[in-house]
């Protein structure tokens, strides 16, 4: 049972920081200081080691609760990041110490259920990808959030990077002319710490291709249709603590998207890609995202989640020139901290749940295309262009 100060504070978060600064509601800093958002993190595995350091440094975050079904994981992270409350499951967490924003870092297949439970309990949600297991379930989740008056966002967060902004601005300037084609790729040899990546509802599409799908749809606009091939290259894998498992979900995918107006893009992604830099994105110098039109070319240096710059060549300036080499505050694991900032200050994000749902529909359509051999029309959309 939540006590009234919590309800007051959460009402404040629904109203906006300006009001809180004037009224000085409990739990919210008065004056110029924006209020803090009470955060509960569920899932204390691999990615929490990237999220928690960022969240713990955010001026808008108070880490209140940590939860994992594996007791030593929740204990380890709670102690390291001085999180006062530990829980073994979401029911206990929701019934326990009050918090405003659930940060969901659990197995991909668990997101839908846990996100919905949190939303129905009146909590805002930042979810790792995918936000749900299907477009229909994701739409239901979003409708439930709207009905409850809470916010929900899903990873990935690359649309807030300076490199994404530069690319979106360059496209809007028309320098590349009539756009024709784009390509993006991302892969590594696959995680070996959890089986869910390879089980039904897992796969390289929602784990890896989702980055490139979000970037390309974010830059070029919502896809109108998808054609794809997927496969399993490595039928069995060895997982730490589990031994050999059967790979059920795709570990290799090629997705074609029709963005309308003749523009076609391609995303290539999988869990069987040798990479001389391993999982370290900072050393990748290739153009992993490329866009070409009839008067210009643009290539993103490095990965969209760890961008290092943008190369551009145009008819008027044909020598390739590197731009946007500054990273600013962007890191791929900053999404939950940004969600807290949005709740505390009402500074809106370019990251939207509708965009996450569109990427989810592309993934769903890619699997349907593989299963049927057909090109699949899409119905979802999101606010585009993605510019501030
Ligand atoms: N590991 C990375 O580098 C990375 C990077 C970006 C995104 N992600 C995404 O983050 C998510 C988690 O991946 P991971 O690599 O951290 O996996 P992981 O297996 O290391 O961690 C997941 C944790 O969630 C816990 N968990 C599962 N179901 C739960 C439930 N119902 N309630 C409470 N806890 C539960 C597990 O016990 C585990 O500790 C996935 O969506 C993945 O795609 C991971």
Q: Name the residue ranges covered by the structural domains of the chain.
A: 36-154, 158-330+350-377
Lowest mean pLDDT segment, chosen from 155-164, 229-238, 269-278, 327-336:
269-278
128 alpha carbon to ligand 1 midpoint, in Å? Answer: 8
CB-ligand 1 contact for 73 (6 Å cutoff): yes
Asked if 309 and 163 count as a contact pair (C-beta separation under 8 A), the reply is: yes
pTM over 0.85: yes
Q: Minimal CA–CA distance to 309: which of 196, 176, 170?
A: 170
pLDDT reported for residue 281: 83
Topology given in CATH for the domain delimited by 36-154: Rossmann fold (3.40.50)
Q: What is the pLDDT of residue 34?
A: 56
Is there an atom of ligand 1 within 6 Å of 250 CB? no
For ligand 1, is residue 108 a contact (CB within 6 Å)? yes
Q: Which of 177, 167, 47 is nearest to 103 (CA)?
A: 47
Specify whether domain 158-330+350-377 bears CATH 3.90.170.10: no
Cβ–ligand 1 contact at 69 (below 6 Å):
yes
Q: Measured between alpha carbons, how far is 264 from 384 in angstroms, rounded to an integer?
A: 17
SS3 content of the chain, % helix, strand, coil (to 5): 35, 25, 40
Which mutation among 40, 42, 45 tests ligand 1's pocket best, with the greatest number of atoms within 8 A of CB? 45
Neighbours of 121 (CB within 10 A): 16
Provide the percentage of residues in the chain whose pLDDT is more than 70.
91
Q: Is the shortest distance between the CB of 43 and ligand 1 below 6 Å?
A: yes
**Structure tokens, 60:** 């808008």
State the closest ligand 1 atom to the C-alpha of 196, by its place in the atom list counted from 1.
19
State the pLDDT confidence band at 277, using cuts at 50, 70 and 90.
confident
46 CB under 6 A from ligand 1?
Answer: yes
Per-residue pLDDT reduced to its tens digit, 171-210: 999 999 999 999 999 999 999 999 999 999 999 999 999 9
Nearest CA to ligand 1 atom 6: 47
- More confident site: 288 or 33: 288
Beta bridge partners of 376: 226
What is d(CA 297, CA 39) in angstroms, rounded to the nearest whole number?
43
CA 48/CA 206 separation, integer angstroms: 18
């Amino acid at each position: 049972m939540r006590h009234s100060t919590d309800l007051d504070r959460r009402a404040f978060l629904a109203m906006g920081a300006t009001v809180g600064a004037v009224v000085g509601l409990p739990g919210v800093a008065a004056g110029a200081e924006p209020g803090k958002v009470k955060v509960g993190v569920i899932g204390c595995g691999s990615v929490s080691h990237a999220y928690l350091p960022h969240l713990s440094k955010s001026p808008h975050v108070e880490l209140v609760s940590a939860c994992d079904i594996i007791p030593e994981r929740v204990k380890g992270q709670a102690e390291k990041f001085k999180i006062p409350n530990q829980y073994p499951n979401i029911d206990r967490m929701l019934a326990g110490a009050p918090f405003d924003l659930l940060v969901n870092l659990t197995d991909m297949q668990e997101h839908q259920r846990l996100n919905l439970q949190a939303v129905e309990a009146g909590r805002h949600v930042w979810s790792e990808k995918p936000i749900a297991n299907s477009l229909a379930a994701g739409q239901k989740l979003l409708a439930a959030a709207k009905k409850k008056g809470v916010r929900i966002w899903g990873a990935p967060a690359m649309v807030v990077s300076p490199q994404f902004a530069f690319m979106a601005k360059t496209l809007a300037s028309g320098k590349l002319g009539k756009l024709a084609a784009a390509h993006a790729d991302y892969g590594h040899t696959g995680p070996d710490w959890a089986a869910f990546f390879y089980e039904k509802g897992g796969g390289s599409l929602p784990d890896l291709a989702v980055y490139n799908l979000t970037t390309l749809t974010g830059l070029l606009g919502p896809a109108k249709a998808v054609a794809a091939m997927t496969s399993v290259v490595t039928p069995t894998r060895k997982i730490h603590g589990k031994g050999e498992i059967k790979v059920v979900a795709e570990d290799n995918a090629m997705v074609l998207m029709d963005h309308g107006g003749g523009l076609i893009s391609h995303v290539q992604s999988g869990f069987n890609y040798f990479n001389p830099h391993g999982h370290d994105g900072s050393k990748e110098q290739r153009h992993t995202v490329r866009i070409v039109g009839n008067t210009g070319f643009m290539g993103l240096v490095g990965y969209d989640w760890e961008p290092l710059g943008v190369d551009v060549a145009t008819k008027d300036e044909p020598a390739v020139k590197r731009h946007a080499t500054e990273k600013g505050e962007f890191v791929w694991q900053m999404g939950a901290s940004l969600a807290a900032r949005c709740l505390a200050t009402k500074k809106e994000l370019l990251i939207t749940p509708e965009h996450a749902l569109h990427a989810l529909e592309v993934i769903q359509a890619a699997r349907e295309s593989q299963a049927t051999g057909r090109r699949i029309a899409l119905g979802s959309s999101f606010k585009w262009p993605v510019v501030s």
